[in-house]
Amino acid sequence: MFEELARWYLELPREGTRLLVLGLAYLGGLMVLPRESRQTARIGRSAYVALTGVFFIAVVASQAPWFLVGSYPPAGALEALVLWDLVSAVGIGCFFGIVAMRRSRDGWGHPGRFFLAYVPVVNLLLMLKPPAKEERAAPRPLTGRLRATASVAAGIFLLGLASTFSTVMDRIVDRTQHLEPVQLSANTLDL
């Protein structure tokens, strides 16, 4: 069963793999919707930017096991790596969904617009939407503004770092695919 799944997953084009992983992350967010819709916790804009950076670093870090196995992985390793990709996408999506729902609750008063977090450019709406409640929009003391600025700076730094790592990993994959493509022979996928 896992062998066929691994074969199918590895034969997908890169864009298909990314869409599948994004869809599984969105599914993870949907899985926590019933639980999170009963909560009242909120996350402000600055904390959301920082947490978005953390989640993008987690997505890039979840790809690290692929680089640890080398060009000729041992038997069963490809199935484990594919399963890791799929499960980690759902897990990261669950946690990102919780954060996005709490940010949506802060910006619009309900968690219904959490799905905006899963669309790369549209995610800016969640990042920039001011709080819905007037008391949360009250001026902050200087220490609060400094903390918020530090959170935003950390989030932007982490997003840039994740983007850089992702670009470097894509270049490594492109280079290795031209040299030695992953062999999908019977001896590498047998359990």
Output the tens digit of pLDDT for each of the chain's 191 residues: 778 888 888 888 888 888 998 899 999 999 999 998 888 889 988 888 899 889 889 888 888 887 777 667 777 788 888 899 899 999 999 999 999 999 999 988 888 889 998 887 888 888 888 887 655 555 667 677 778 788 888 888 988 888 888 888 777 766 655 544 444 444 444 44
Q: Are 181 and 74 in contact (CB under 8 A)?
A: no
With a CB cutoff of 8 Å and minimum separation 6, the contacts of 147 are 46
CA distances from 133 to 33, 52, 92, 104, 189 (A): 22, 22, 29, 12, 55
**Which pLDDT score, from 0 to 100, does residue 121 have?**
84
